[in-house]
Each structure stands twice: as C-alpha cells, then as structure tokens.
Structure 1
Amino acid sequence: MMTPQENGPPRYIKNPWFNVLLGEHSTRSMKDLRYEISSLRLRASSFAPKPRRAAPRREDLCHHPQDKPTTHWASEMEVQPALSPLSSQAVYRRGNECCFLYTFPLQNINSWEPFRRKFEAIEEEIDLDYLMQTSRRLAYDMSIHSGIGGIIYMYYELNNITGDLNYLLTAARLADKQVTHRHMGRDRPSFLRGHVGFCAVALPVLAKAGELNEKKEQYLCDGVEQPRSEFFAWDPSTTVSNELMYGRAGYVWALLWLRQQQDIVNPREGGARRREWASEEDIRKGVALILDVGKQGARSKRAKELFNKNPPPLFWQWHAKCYLGMAHGMAGILAVLIMARKYLPSESDLRDFILPTVDCIVAQQFRSYNFPMYAGSRSDSLVQWCHGAPGITLLLLLAEKVSREILGMGYMTQALKCGEVRHL
C-alpha cells in the first residue's frame, strides 16, 4: 500500500481489505480521501464546517497493518458469524495520517469500548443533519450497503450492544425522517440494496424507540412485502437472480433478520402479535425456490463443463458466470441457506446438498489461500467481501458449527487459511 507524501504528486491508496465486510475495492487520492461511517461514503469537502480539534494522540490511532510487517494482520481479526450483514466501520483522516477502524460484529459492550473514542471523534467531524439536506447521494440512496440505511443500522446495533439510548434516538430520528419526508424507491429489493433493507431496519428501530404508529408500520411492511410476487415466482425466463446483493437470497436474508428482530423488539403478547413483519411461510417459499433453482442448475451442461463433469449438488449463475463470492456468488446464497436451516424443506438438504457444495467451493482455493472470482477462472487478484477470501471466510464460519453437529468435522482450518492470503 502506498503512503502519502508531503510534497510531490498525490499518491494513491489501493487497499482491497479497506471495506472487508462491504467489498469495496477502490483507488482514491489521499487529497480526496473519503470519510466513511458505516456503509455511507461522503466527500470531506461536503462536510459542514466545525471548529478544529486537537489532533488525536498517535497511540490512540489504529495503525495500518504495514506497521507490523512480521505478522499478517488478517490473521489477527476475530470475525464472528452473525445474522447482521454489517458492522460499524469508518475512516478518519487528520493531516497526512489515516486511521482505519475495523469493527467486526460486536458481541457486547466490552468489545465496543476500545473503539468508542475513535467513533466519537468521527461523529464530531460529520454533521448528519446537514448532509441529509445537502447530499444528493442521501436523497436517493436509502440502502444499507451505501446509503442512509447503513447509518441507521449501525446506530441501532450500537444501541443493542452498549445500551446507550442516544444511539437508538439517533437511529429513530434518521429513520423517521426518511419515512415521513422521502418517497421510497422500488428498485433492487434485497437486504443490502434498495428499499427492503431500509424498511427491515426501520421497523425495529422505530418500534424500540416507541415511534412506530399504525400508519408507519403499514408503510414499512408494504415496502418489505412488495417484492414477494416477483421474487417467489418460478419462471425460468425471469431476470430475477438468486444471489445475495440483488437477488432472492438477499430478500430471504431481509426476512430472516426482520423476523429475528421482531421476536426481540415486538414479542408476542397473549400468544399473538398485532401483525407479523415477516412470515415463516414466505421464508420457506424463498428457501425452497432457491434450492430448486440450484438443484436444476447442477444438472445443466454448463455445471458439468465448469467442474470437470463432477458438478456440485447446487449450482447458480449470475450473468452467465458461476460466481463463488459472497455478494454475487454461491458463498452468499449458501450462507443464507445455512442461516435459514430451520426453514429448509428437508433435514437432509443441509447434509446432502448445502455442505457438499461448500466443499466444492473450498476445492477452488488457490495456493495463496485466496479464491477465484468465478468457477473456471485462474485470476488471483481480488481480495474482497464481494469476491475472494474475505466473504468466503464468513461462509466457512457459518458452516463450521452446523458441519460439526452433523458430520463431526468443520471448516475452521480452511477459514483460518483465508486470513493468511499470501499475496497481499
């Protein structure tokens, strides 16, 4: 990774692990480095002016992994599988120093405390209310992946972890403003992209904050339920994909996450809820359809060609390629199926179809411990959440527990190898 210079032409950062959970792989100028909070990317020039603060002490900064050349920094990460797709992450710049904050799914307040001061320093640099009024990106992007939905999700998770009411109030204020004053788009109905993810996050946020009235609940539930007819229709000619970022797996993920949150935020009273935010029937339909498409794909001529006449039990394509990664490939679809294992049509689906397909992905691993973008590719260049070892690591961690329960053996060895990608 290149470092900035005080004089001379601008240098560039090219760090494929920068957004290890979101999969961003970008090259950016140090003079135009973007602040990042959750999944929102904002230009520093658009920030509202604020009084200058004293520069943070060097010991308070998270140093770049190159500061410890003898230890591969990826091996030091503690990545824990979670149903939630994101966690708080940000980048903070002061002069020529950059502070990269990686916060993986946090389990309790003790795991949050080391990052609190750094996060608060970033908050002081960003005026969200000002940006809500001036940023064209916020005006159109409500998604968790790259819009205001990701910020709302982050504050909601921080409230769950720390119990700090201010985080919940901030999340509720942002969500309420979107519901009240913005028209909701109908594109890309999956958890990470589009309106479904925002609606799925806004429902528990507003309910927990006591701001969810009947009108808002109806509006948000309609936003979640609207894609059902399109996504759950079996039509081989349809353009609906099965991958995580834009397809059926992403929609099932939204339903899974929303149902989990409803059990926490809106538990049953007297044996029944006023309204179900996500029904078991919808989740079962989505899971069954994804499995059917995968089984049919495994019988195709294309699957046999790519896997030397020994195709995996499940096979999906996106844009005519068998992608392997988390965002658009088999890893993301399999991860959702594992998380939805109690909704599988048969108990044997996990043992006979899902885990053997995970084995086929593991067999594609390079000697560098990275993975190709798609089956049949020999290119070993992308190390992202979208494509490569980082996303597949999360699949292996999810498969580890269920595999040990069923087969008595897991994937921890392979997951640890993913943290030692050699060519970074």
Structure 2
Amino acid sequence: MDSSIALNLENERHFRNPFLENVADGARAVSREWLLQKLETLTERISSQKIPKEENGKIGPYVGSSGIAYSLVKASSKLGQSQSNLSDYIRTLLATESDYAKKSSDSHKCRYLTGPLGFFTVRAIADFYLTNETDVASLSSHFRKLLPTVLSSNIEEFEMLNGRAGFLASLLELRTHFGQQLLSDSEVRQVLDFMVKSGRKYSEKCNSSASLMYEWHDKEYLGAAHGVSGIYQMMLSFWDLLDASAKSNLKQSVDWLMDTQFPSGNFPSSSHRIGGKDELVHWCHGAPGVLQMLIVAYLVLKNDKYLKSAEKCAKLIWARGILHKGPGICHGVAGNGYAFLLLYRLTQNEKYLSMAKAFAFILMVPSFGKSARTPDHKWSLFEGWSGALCFLADLLEPEKAQFPLVPICFN
C-alpha cells in the first residue's frame, strides 16, 4: 500500500479517516512483518534519545521517564533477544526518576499515573523483566504502608491519575503480571468502602443523578483520567469485594453514565456538558476511555446493553478518532486505537482488529508525523511515541492486549 496517503483535517481536532468506508484497505499493509519492522524502528528511535529534558524530572509514567521504560519493556518482550541491549537504558530511565520519587511528600506517594506509585509499579514490572524475579513480600509491604494515606480524608482525589482509583489500578496491574494478590481482600475492601461512602456523600450533597459521584478540582468529570468512568471501572474490577448496597449504587451509576451517551456515540467530558457540545474523543475525556469501563461492565454485569454502548463508541472513534493532537494514548491516535484492540479481544470480531491495524498504519505514515501536532512530551507514554510503541507491541498479540497500566480482567 502507498505509505504517502494524504491526511486532511476535518476540523481542528481530528483528521478525516481516509479508510472510513473501507476498513480492509487500511489494515491490508499491517502484517506481522510490518508490525515487527515498525516496532523495531520506533524502539530504536526512542532508545537512542538522551533522557529527554521535557520528561526528565517528571514523576510517574504519564510523562515521566518510567513511562518510557514501561514501553521499552513491553516492546522488548515482543522483539526478543535482538533488543537485549535495552536493559541498560531501561535501568538508566528508572534510576533518573527514582531520585525525584524519593523526594515526594507523603501525601503524594499514593499517586499513580502522575506520581511515585506509578514509578514503583513500573519499576517492579521492569525488575521482573530484567531479572525474572520479584519480591512479592516487599511489594505487599509497600502497599500496606500506603494504606493509611489512601484511607485518609486529607486526600481528596478519587480519580485514576492521582487518586484512589489509581491505587486500585496499580494493584490490578501488578496482579496481571505476577498472578498474586498484594493486599488481602479485607484491605482492598477498606479502600472500596471509603470510595463508596465518599461517592454517596458527595452525590447527596450535590443532588446528583448518580448514586456515586465524585469531583476533581470542583468539576464533575465523566472520563477515564479524572472522572467517574475511570473510578467506576476500577470499582467494577473488584466487584466481588463490594457489598450488596454498594453493588446496587455502582450499577445505577454506571447505567446513569451510559445514558449520557450522545447520539454520535461520544460521551460528555463533565456533568455540566451533558446534552451539550459533543467535542472530545480522547481516552482522558470522551468515548475511548468510557468504552473501557463499558467493557468491564459487560464482563461483570453480563448485560448486552453495555457491549452495544461500547460498540457505538467504536463507530464514533472510527470516524473521529484520528486526532491532530498526536500519537499518544491519553489524547492521541494510539489511545483511540486501543479501543478497537480491546473490543477485538472481547468479541473476537475481526472488524475491530482491522480498525486497530488501520489506526496503526495511519500512525506510522510520514504524513501523520508531518501533519499532527508535536506533543509537549514527545517521547512519553501517555502523550507521545512510547504510547504508540505499546500499541504496536499489543497488535502483535491482540489476544493479550491491555491498555498500558490500566488493565481489564478478561478472564
């Protein structure tokens, strides 16, 4: 296929999908050989960089050097021995961030994607990759030390990036890698109970239509990064630890959120935009992130309405998901491509795998690099090319695909 396809802006936010009417055309070039070649090339590009100044000094895998390390670990697992020289670079990335993480205040130590807990999580995964060993007792001890902070009313955040949902995501991520619980059920239940009680209290105070509602910086966000979608997703992931009343509240809240879906398939970014402008198609705000919560709801609650809502999201992402903002997974093409990849893993519908491949193809054509905005943190995991690297790696084994650091329990 001609790699010189033109990308034309449909509006300031996204490019027109050149394969809108023919998914197969976009996927045709993306063979296993193509993926391996692109994965190796991008891995070399990223690992040949000096530790980027804009990522240096940031804590957490969102834009910190630990996120780059995470992507290289993931790529290396697919490329095998040909990339064994990456080990030193991965260690250097982690050592750089370690110095900053140690200086974090106690109140920030439980922050996940933008804080020390995320660094700690990635370091544990990288150590396992580099040494084939893991100290589960030490990991468990670390989480137990964080529990009093997580359960303190002084910590106001509940969302994925900085709050309690991120704490649960870290536990889930490490469980998927090591196959072991790092906290007891009763300890995790304490976190869930705190989240449920706080969500009820805020909902009653603000007369919310959702039984469980949360705010971040005085706004009721609905998306995956700062909003209730990410919070609900993590609570659903620990469904068996919730009592009957909490389950009822959570299901009602998930159904309420699903009912805010625009006719287009998108979701509003916050409660005050319900029924308003339909704009953002990002993992952080909009359908791509909510889709992942809907997949978990479908797996847990066994109701087809959640799958239908997720598939409506996918149709919207196919039309409006080639974002001008860049390649990343938070608000970029790779993050939107993950929506198709995860739906494929759930449904085994080849259409979604083809859509994911088409987004990968677009991501790697020269015209995208020239036309898309250069992210503020060009090589980072959530904003930059390290997120794209994870997406390419997961396309090699789509039956095992997971959105970076926010896993779904498919089994």
Shift of 1:124: 3.2
Q: Give the letter for the 1:154 counterpart.
A: S
Q: Structure with the greater relative contact order (CA < 8 A, sep ≥ 6): 1 or 2?
A: 2
CA distance in 1, matches of 2:97, 2:165: 30
CA-CA distance at 1:392 after TM superposition:
0.7
Match in the other structure for 2:284? 386
The structure whose residues are more often strand, as a share, is 1
Tell me how far 1:194 sits from its aligned partner.
1.4
Tell me the equivalent position of 1:240. 156
Q: Which residue type is aligned with residue 21 of structure 2?
A: T
Which amino acid is the alignment partner of residue 36 of structure 2?
Answer: R
> Are 2:284 and 1:284 equivalent residues in the alignment?
no
Amino acid at match of 1:207: F
- How far apart are the structure 1 equivalents of 2:84 and 2:148? 33
Distance 1:329 1:4, change over 3 A: closer
Q: Give 2:334's aligned residue.
A: none
Q: Which has the higher helix share?
A: 2
2:50 is aligned with 1:131: yes
State the distance in 2 between where 1:382 and 1:4 align: 19
Cα deviation digits, residues 203-225 of structure 1 (max 9, x gap): 132134328698x996x777655
The residue aligned with 2:307 is 412
Change (3 A) 1:173 1:13: farther
Could you tell me which amino acid in structure 1 is paired with residue 160 of structure 2?
A: L
**Residue type of the partner of 2:148?**
S
Contact 2:266/2:313 (8 A) holds in 1: yes
Aligned to 2:378: none
| 8 A Cα contact 2:47 2:86, kept in partner | no
Is 1:190–1:251's contact at 8 Å kept on the other side of the alignment?
A: yes
Distance 2:199 2:84 in 1: 40
Structure 2 counterpart of 1:29? none
1:151 & 1:297 partners in 2: Cα distance? Answer: 37
**Contact kept? 1:331, 1:395, Cα under 8 Å:** yes
Corresponding residue SS for 2:224: coil
Q: Is the Cα–Cα contact under 8 Å of residues 153 and 201 in structure 1 kept in the other structure?
A: yes
Equivalent of 2:233 in 327, 335, 346: 335
Instruction: Report how many aligned residue pairs link the two structures.
Output: 306
Letter in 1 for 2:296: L
Matched, 1:66 2:17: yes
Residue 178 of structure 2 aligns to a residue whose secondary structure is helix
Q: Which amino acid aligns with 2:112?
A: F
Give distance in 1, aligned partners of 2:33 and 2:244. Answer: 41
For the pair 1:229 / 2:148, whether they are aligned, the reply is: yes
Alignment of 1:92-103 (within 5 A): none
Q: 1:364 to 1:4 in 2, by over 3 A?
A: closer
- Contact 1:241 / 1:318 at 8 angstroms: preserved in 2? yes
* Residue matched to 2:212: 314
Cα deviation for residue 414 of structure 1 reads 0.8
Q: 1:67 to 1:379 in 2, by over 3 A?
A: closer
| Partner residue, 1:258 | 174
Deviation at 1:183, TM superposition (A): 0.8
The Cα shift of 1:420 comes to 2.4
1:209 aligned to which of 126, 130, 145: 130
Matched-pair contact (CA < 8 Å) for 1:199–1:223: no
Whether the 8 Å contact between 1:3 and 1:13 is mirrored in structure 2 is no
Q: 1:127 & 1:180 partners in 2: Cα distance?
A: 15
Q: Give the aligned partner of residue 357 of structure 1.
A: 253
Q: CA deviation at 1:66?
A: 2.8
Which secondary structure state, in structure 2, belongs to the residue aligned with residue 66 of structure 1? coil
Q: Does the 8 A contact of 2:196 with 2:212 survive in 1?
A: yes
Contact preservation (8 Å) 2:113, 2:161: yes
Aligned equivalents of 1:208 and 1:222: distance in 2? 21
Q: Which amino acid counterpart does residue 303 of structure 1 have in structure 2?
A: N
* Structure 2 CA distance for aligned equivalents of residues 363 and 159 of structure 1: 41
Q: Is structure 2 residue 64 aligned with structure 1 residue 147?
A: yes
The match for 1:373 is 269
Question: CA deviation digits over 1:118-150, x for unaligned, max 9?
Answer: 12122333444x512xx3234312422112222
Residues 1:125 and 1:205: Cα distance change in structure 2 (over 3 Å): closer
- Offset of 1:158 from its aligned partner? 3.8
Q: Can you give the 5+ residue segments of structure 2 that lack an aligned partner in the other structure?
A: 321-411
| Percentage of identical aligned residues | 22
| Equivalent residue number for residue 120 of structure 1 | 40
Is 2:324 the counterpart of 1:324?
Answer: no
The aligned residue for residue 183 of structure 1 is: 99
SS in 1 for 2:100: coil
* Bigger radius of gyration: 1
Post-superposition offset of 1:228: 3.0
Tell me: CA distance 1:277–1:365, structure 2 relative to 1, closer, same or farther (3 Å): closer
Distance in 2, matches of 1:410 and 1:172, equals 48
Partners in 2 of 1:116 and 1:217 — Cα distance? 37
Q: Distance in 1 between matches of 2:112 and 2:33?
A: 28
Q: Using a 3 Å threshold, how does the CA distance of structure 1 residues 127 and 171 change in structure 2: closer, same or farther?
A: closer
Query: What is the deviation of 1:181?
Result: 8.2
Mean Cα displacement is larger for which, 408-417 or 326-335? 408-417
Superposition TM-score, scaled by structure 1 size: 0.61
Aligned to 1:32: none
Q: What is the TM-score when the length of structure 2 is the normalising length?
A: 0.63
- Residue type matched to 1:254 in 2? S
Q: 2:251 corresponds to which letter in structure 1?
A: L
* Correspondence list, 1:6-17, <5 A: 14-15=12-13
